[in-house]
């Protein structure tokens, strides 16, 4: 398997400087959450480093996966924003040789969340939202919740993301709704 240095190089080569800085911010936030909530630090680091590996890929790279593998039918109506995690996890498996299913699921669900998120999945989902480079209304509240109760942070992020998407008037991927319906019970 790849060393941390090799992984950093492979990830960096896939993206702009700005996005790479975001990835390093997610890693820092994910490691802090892993320390706080008792997750494996190396798994949190690897999942964070690869979570947006496919964010700058052309649509054709995803299309060949969507044609060959079994994804929910709804996926084809969306684009990179939904594909880079859900399909990206399979590309990361194939290109980087990462086979840990918890890490791959953390990548897979970092955008939409899911009904049943493992601790690592929750950490990556939240770290992506609260990393130090993020600046949007509510991010401080999300950071505060992440410091006190990870489940509340997941619920808060899920509510805010769905509200933001509905206000923007964009289609909602079904999994985003599934996530909301489960995690809404944990809003404080
Ligand atoms: O890749 P990042 O920008 O770091 O963050 P992300 O992967 O969490 O989110 C990528 C984008 O996906 C973000 O602009 C919000 C959008 N998104 C999340 N859920 C949905 C969605 N877009 C649509 N259309 N539908 C969704 O359900
Ligand atoms: Fe992403
Ligand atoms: Fe996210
Ligand atoms: Fe991200």
Q: Does a structural domain hold residue 118? A: yes
Q: Which residues have C-beta within 8 Å of that of residue 71, sequence separation ≥ 6? A: 65, 86, 87
Spacing, Cα 161 to ligand 2 middle (Å): 13
Which ligand 1 atom sits closest to the C-alpha of 164?
15
Q: Does a structural domain hold residue 62? A: yes
Least confident span in 55-59, 67-71, 175-179: 67-71
Q: Does a structural domain hold residue 174? A: no
List, as one string, the DSSP characters of 133-155.
T--STTHHHHHHHHHH-HHHHHH
The pLDDT value given to residue 73: 94
Residues 69, 86: contact at Cβ < 8 Å?
A: no
Q: Does a structural domain hold residue 12? A: yes
Among 87, 108, 111, 154, the mutation site with the greatest number of ligand 1 atoms within 8 A of its Cβ is: 111
The token pair that represents 29 in the structure block: 């936030």
Residues 108, 71: contact at Cβ < 8 Å?
A: no
Spacing, Cα 110 to ligand 2 middle (Å): 6
Q: Does a structural domain hold residue 152? A: no
Q: Does a structural domain hold residue 130? A: yes
Q: What is the DSSP letter of 113?
A: -
Which residue range forms the structural domain that includes residue 51? 4-136
Q: What is the DSSP letter of 104?
A: H
Which residue in 114, 115, 127, 179 sits closest to 153, CA to CA? Answer: 127
Domains held by the chain: number: 1
Q: Does a structural domain hold residue 162? A: no
Residue closest by Cα to atom 12 of ligand 1: 81
Q: Which residues have C-beta within 8 Å of that of residue 168, sequence separation ≥ 6? A: none
- pTM assigned to the model: 0.98
Helices 41-50 and 17-37 pack at an angle, to 10 degrees, of: 160
Reported as a single tens digit per residue, the pLDDT across 58-110 is: 999 999 999 998 999 999 999 999 999 999 999 999 999 999 999 999 999 99
Q: Does a structural domain hold residue 41? A: yes
List residues near ligand 1 (CB under 6 A).
Answer: 52, 55, 81, 85, 110-112, 128, 161, 165, 170-173, 176
Spacing, Cα 109 to ligand 2 middle (Å): 9
The pLDDT value given to residue 183: 98
CATH number at residue 118: 1.10.3210.10
Reported as a single tens digit per residue, the pLDDT across 130-155 is: 999 999 999 999 999 999 999 999 99
Judging by beta carbons within 10 Å of its beta carbon (0-12, 13-18, 19+), is residue 80 exposed, middle or buried? middle
Whether complex ipTM tops 0.90: yes
Residue ranges in 38-58 assigned as alpha helix (H)? 41-50
The pLDDT value given to residue 1: 85
């Amino acid at each position: 398997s790849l060393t941390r240095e090799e992984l950093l190089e492979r990830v960096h080569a896939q993206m702009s400087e700005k996005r790479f800085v975001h990835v390093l911010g997610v890693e820092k936030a994910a490691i802090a959450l892993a320390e706080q909530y008792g997750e494996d630090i190396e798994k949190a680091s690897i999942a964070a480093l690869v979570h947006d590996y496919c964010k700058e890929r052309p649509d054709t790279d995803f299309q060949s996966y969507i044609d060959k593998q079994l994804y929910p039918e709804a996926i084809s109506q969306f684009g990179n924003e939904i594909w880079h995690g859900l399909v990206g996890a399979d590309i990361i498996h194939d290109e980087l040789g990462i086979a840990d299913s918890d890490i791959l699921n953390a990548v897979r669900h970092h955008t939409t969340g899911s009904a049943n998120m493992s601790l690592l999945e929750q950490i990556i989902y939240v770290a992506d939202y609260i990393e130090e480079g993020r600046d949007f209304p509510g991010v401080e509240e999300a950071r505060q919740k992440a410091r006190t109760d990870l489940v509340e942070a997941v619920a808060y992020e899920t509510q805010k993301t769905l509200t933001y998407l509905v206000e923007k008037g964009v289609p909602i991927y079904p999994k985003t709704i599934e996530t909301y319906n489960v995690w809404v019970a944990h809003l404080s």
